Structure 1
Amino acid sequence: MKPYLYPIAFSLLLISGKPAFAQVRLLTMETAVKVALEKNRDLQVATLETAKSGQKVREARSYALPTVSASAQYLYFPQKQVSFLPGSFVGLGENELATFRVGGSNAFLGGVAVSQPLFQAGIGAGIRAAQLYETASAEERNEVRASVVTDVKKAYLDVLITQEQLRLQEQSLARNVQALKDARSLLAQGRASRVDTLRAFVSVENLRPVLSQLNNRVEITRTVLKRTMGLDEQEAIDLQDSLRYDPNALVAPGADAFFEAVQARPEIHRLELTEKLNREQIALQTAERAPKLSAIGLLQSQAQANHLRFDRYSWPLSSYIGLQLNVPIFTGFRTASRIQQAVITRQQSETQLANLKEVVRAQVKIALSNLAEARLRIATQQQTVAVAELGYRITRDRWKQGIASRLDMSDAEFSLTQAKAHYLQAIYDYQTAAVELDKVLGRI
């Protein structure tokens, strides 16, 4: 290698040797929802189902349009076709038949057939049923969308509370480590016993497995969030929101929350449309008993010869137009059975709709109760945390002065950690209840 190339090669090696840092996706709860609405696979499947239902409407309308078909046929006869004539035509007896070989060895047949429905009672019902199915499919997609949004928000909150629990335990570990240092210092001064130092050491070591478990839970909750959003599991994410209590963030429901939920929930809309769809299915099956009238027509050309010299073929045309009437008389009770099945299905959908409304009524009541209970716990735990912090500071000062025991110090620290943990849990429960209330009221 030439000498002047060494610096260039060395620079390239340095560049290639630098670690490639994966880009971290910054996520707020709002952006997480937007990403999920774009990438969640369950929602993509529901969207495709809605598109497919639109094609069903197009298919139903096609039954009212004419049907045009073209056909072509070639036949080769090793033995030509046979026709039978009365024997008297060739001098045979009256009771005898004469056979003749007719036609050519090669036969060609082609034509265009047209059929236009003039009266079919089931076409209109089929179109209405397909349109209702399309609308019901859209409501089902909205139902999946609401579930995806709710699941993403809950998964996001799971990550937040796990991170906060980890941070809380880290703070507890820091306090216990400081208490261990103080205990060793007091032991050296003869102001604390060896037992107090051992207890402080045990408290520190007992917290380390808890931190390991919480670190693992953070990774698990992040994985669940990424899967719910539709992100690749290897993608790095960083949550920008924090677990906080904002009483003004939630829009309070009106006086009749149940009525609001019934008017907005996509599940109820879907079942209402399903009930209408089942009524159209009854009409569709009943229409099978009605006669069907169609206009038909055919344009046909045929030729036969013993050779394949097409320039010598004759292609005579024949055609007809007419009406075709089909009157069902007996179908082996199939039509009656299908009508009864449709009636029973409609009754099932009516029962399901009534049951769903009662379920929604209960869900609204439970969601409002959970929200009120979590709000009350937040107010209580705020005071508890303030009292626990004051108690910990007083106990720590008393312990340093030799007035309080190490056991009192441990109890105060544990009470402070528990109070903060309960406060975090109350905020998490409130946020989760608010997300669930939005879903129950159909606000998503």
Structure 2
Amino acid sequence: MKHSNKGLFSLLILCMISVLPAQGEELTLEAAEKFALENNIQLKMAEASLKKAEAAFREAIGGLLPAFSAYGQYTKNFELPVVVIDIPGAGPQSITMGSTYNSTGGLSVSQPLFTSGALYSSLRMAKTGEEIAEIQKEQEKNSVILTVRTLYQQILLIESLIQATEKSQVSAQANLEIVQKMKSVGKANQFEVLQAEVKFREISPRLVSLKNQKKSLITNMITFLNLETGQDIELSGELTLMDNPFRESTLEEIKREALENRYELALLKHQEKMLKSQRILAASAALPKVSVSADVRHQAQAESQDDMEYYRSKNVSVSVSIPLLSGGKHLASV
């Protein structure tokens, strides 16, 4: 099931910011996304859950198919059991039961014919579980990409603000020096000097705050990418405005697209299907079930291994199971 990524990236799109990689960069946006997708633990767990769900679906399919099994047994009796029978007119008589050597081998097959919807409900549940796991994987993948892009662009934005603030600081310092020179020749008063100095001094705390914010964002990026703590990374690229892709869309069109593509709504629909299948499965426990089985075996009994002679037997049986009373357990589960 494929979904549009517009909903997940709407925050970035509305800000109308995009990244244009530059030459000679140490970490591009594409490289950061690739590294995160390869190393994110939550995404790996989602991929493992999908594989588990796929295996569960294959297992559910196996429940609809015939089951074949082979068996064999070889027995040597060192002491045979003895049964004493009181025979009128002859008195108690001991009779030895069985043979010294016994061998049995065969092949059996069984096939469910009617399960009151249990097997098909299990199959639907397994398929729905696989679809849920696939949606969750795509949701986690888009979440990883969104986080990387958000952090990456926030870092570039902070860097551009730092550069602009440093230029303002240089400009304010130059203005202060000019006002001080003008005061020395009598063309400016002390109040104008103080104004210029205040403007210059107030930039420094703002610059320190921006640099601290950059360090915090870099740390968050390093942690999210599972890089070594303390490792310094440099990002490259520049910010540019981009067109709003929703400019020509109406509010109703955007709402409709969101309802069609949001992963949360898709998960709710699949969870509803899962609950319906679980209810049918619970109800089937109180309904009849029919299965058929067949068996082919070879048996041999003798007092000596050289006298072993095998005889074949075949049988087919139909089994019907009808639950009558369970103390209300099945009714409560429905």
**Is the contact made by 2:25 and 2:235 (CA closer than 8 Å) also made in structure 1?**
no
The AA in structure 2 aligned to 1:91 is: A
Residue 313 of structure 2 aligns to a residue whose secondary structure is strand
**Is the contact made by 1:26 and 1:237 (CA closer than 8 Å) also made in structure 2?**
no
**Is the contact made by 2:218 and 2:233 (CA closer than 8 Å) also made in structure 1?**
no
1: CA distance, partners of 2:132 / 2:58: 16
Larger strand proportion of the pair:
2
Q: How does 1:57-68 map to 2 (within 5 A)?
A: 57-68=57-68
Q: How does 1:28-177 map to 2 (within 5 A)?
A: 33=33, 36-37=36-37, 39-75=39-75, 77-82=77-82, 84=83, 86-88=85-87, 91-92=90-91, 98-104=93-99, 107-121=102-116, 122-177=118-173
1: CA distance, partners of 2:104 / 2:286: 36
The AA in structure 2 aligned to 1:52 is: K
Please report the TM-score for the alignment, with normalisation by the length of structure 1: 0.59
The AA in structure 1 aligned to 2:28 is: L
Q: Structure with the greater relative contact order (CA < 8 A, sep ≥ 6): 1 or 2?
A: 2
Q: Which residue of 1 aligns with 2:17?
A: none
Cα RMSD after superposing both structures: 3.5
Larger helix proportion of the pair:
1
Question: What is the aligned length?
Answer: 307
Shift of 1:297: 1.8
Shift of 1:268: 0.8
2: CA distance, partners of 1:63 / 1:261: 39
Please report the TM-score for the alignment, with normalisation by the length of structure 2: 0.75
In structure 2, relative to structure 1, the CA distance for the partners of 1:294 and 1:56 (3 Å cut) is same
Shift of 1:61: 1.5
- C-alpha offsets along residues 260-291 of structure 1, whole Å, 9 cap, x if unaligned? 22122121122112212211221122122222
1: CA distance, partners of 2:169 / 2:89: 120
Q: Which residue of 2 aligns with 1:25?
A: 27
1: CA distance, partners of 2:101 / 2:247: 83
- C-alpha offsets along residues 224-265 of structure 1, whole Å, 9 cap, x if unaligned? 23544x4635473423131x4445454553341322221221
Runs of 5+ consecutive residues of structure 1 not aligned to the other structure: 1-21, 340-444
2: CA distance, partners of 1:33 / 1:231: 12
1: CA distance, partners of 2:329 / 2:238: 61
1: CA distance, partners of 2:122 / 2:128: 10
Residue 281 of structure 1 aligns to a residue whose secondary structure is helix
**Is the contact made by 2:26 and 2:233 (CA closer than 8 Å) also made in structure 1?**
yes
In structure 2, relative to structure 1, the CA distance for the partners of 1:249 and 1:285 (3 Å cut) is closer
2: CA distance, partners of 1:241 / 1:105: 90
Q: Which residue of 1 aligns with 2:333?
A: 338
Runs of 5+ consecutive residues of structure 2 not aligned to the other structure: 1-23
Name which of structure 1's ranges 292-301 and 249-258 shifts more when overlaid on structure 2: 249-258
Q: Which residue of 1 aligns with 2:212?
A: 216
Shift of 1:319: 3.3
Residue of structure 1 aligned with 2:294, choices 294, 297, 314: 297
2: CA distance, partners of 1:272 / 1:290: 28
1: CA distance, partners of 2:247 / 2:136: 25
Q: How does 1:411-430 map to 2 (within 5 A)?
A: none
- C-alpha offsets along residues 206-229 of structure 1, whole Å, 9 cap, x if unaligned? 64454344333213213323544x
Name which of structure 1's ranges 100-109 and 116-125 shifts more when overlaid on structure 2: 100-109
